[in-house]
């Protein structure tokens, strides 16, 4: 009996690993952004129907990083760098709304299809729309549902636009939300956010030469 349980546990772990890598491949190649959708589609493709075999979102994110490293070569780092630099310019432009970079561009899993996602803060929900209109930036109005904590979800206004062939998503939150980040859809912990100064430091750290590297 213990050996049978050990065998079953090993098989479940192997299935979780296979599913995580298949979900990561679907996200990288098919542009799927939702972890739940990716894992369900991967399970259907592989014929796994037991919930115990479903990997966690963090497992899929780790598998996605590995996939990008192995198969996307220099294209993914270039796309990521391009989006981080564009995000910094946009954050400086939107400084009055105390923007915070969130999502794959900050986490390092962005690719050539990934939009730049930011959170802006204002108690006037229409302030961002007016600012974009006055700047001559055509933007579409949408909404985004965020989990504020384990018990509360809310819809918030989101504005999308394109600049320099890159897509931007601006979610507008009340000013009080600066103190407590919404929960991440990856691990249900407060999502990681970066201010303009933190992003500037991140870019500087990327430019710093590694050990033994001499830059002229």
Q: 108-118: per-residue pLDDT in tens?
A: 999 989 999 99
Mean pLDDT computed over every residue of the chain: 88
Q: What is the DSSP string of the chain?
A: -HHHHHHHHHHHHHHHHHHHHHHHHHHHHH----HHHHHHHHHHHHT---GGGPPPHHHHHHHHHHHHHHHSTTHHHHHHHHHHHHHHHHHHHTGGG--EEESHHHHT---TTPPEEEEEE-SSTTHHHHHHHHTT---EEEEEEEESSSS-EEEEEEEEEEETTEEEEEEEE-GGGGSSPPBPTTTSSBPP-B-HHHHHHHHHHHHS--TT----
Phi and psi at 42, nearest 5°, equal -65, -40
Residue 185: predicted pLDDT: 85
CATH code of the domain made up of 75-207:
3.30.460.10
What is the rounded average pLDDT of the residues 14-19? 90
Percentage of residues of the chain with pLDDT beyond 90 = 55
What is the rounded average pLDDT of the residues 153-168? 95
Residue 199 has which token pair? 């992003």
CATH 3.30.460.10: which residues of the chain?
75-207
Residue 63 has which token pair? 């598998």
CA dist 151 → 146, 148, 177, 189, 191 (Å): 11, 8, 16, 13, 16
Most confident range (mean pLDDT) of 7-11, 58-62, 95-99 is: 95-99
């Amino acid at each position: 009996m213990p050996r049978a349980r050990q065998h079953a546990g090993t098989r479940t772990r192997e299935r979780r690993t296979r599913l995580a890598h298949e979900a990561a491949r679907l996200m990288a190649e098919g542009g799927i952004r939702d972890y739940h959708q990716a894992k369900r589609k991967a399970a259907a493709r592989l014929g796994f129907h037991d919930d115990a075999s479903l990997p966690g979102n963090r497992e899929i994110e780790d598998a996605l990083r590995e996939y990008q490293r192995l198969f996307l070569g220099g294209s993914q780092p270039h796309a990521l760098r391009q989006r981080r630099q564009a995000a910094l310019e946009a954050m400086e432009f939107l400084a009055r709304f105390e923007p915070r970079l969130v999502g794959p561009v900050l986490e390092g899993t962005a690719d050539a299809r990934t939009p730049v996602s930011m959170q802006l803060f204002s108690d006037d929900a229409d302030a961002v729309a007016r600012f974009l209109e006055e700047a001559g930036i055509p933007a579409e109005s949408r909404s985004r549902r965020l989990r504020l904590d384990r018990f509360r979800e809310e819809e918030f206004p989101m504005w999308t636009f394109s600049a320099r062939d890159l897509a931007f998503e601006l979610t507008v939150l009340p000013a009080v939300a600066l103190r407590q980040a919404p929960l991440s859809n990856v691990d249900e912990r407060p999502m990681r956010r970066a201010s303009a100064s933190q992003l500037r430091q991140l870019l500087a750290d990327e430019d710093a030469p590694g050990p033994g590297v001499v830059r002229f």
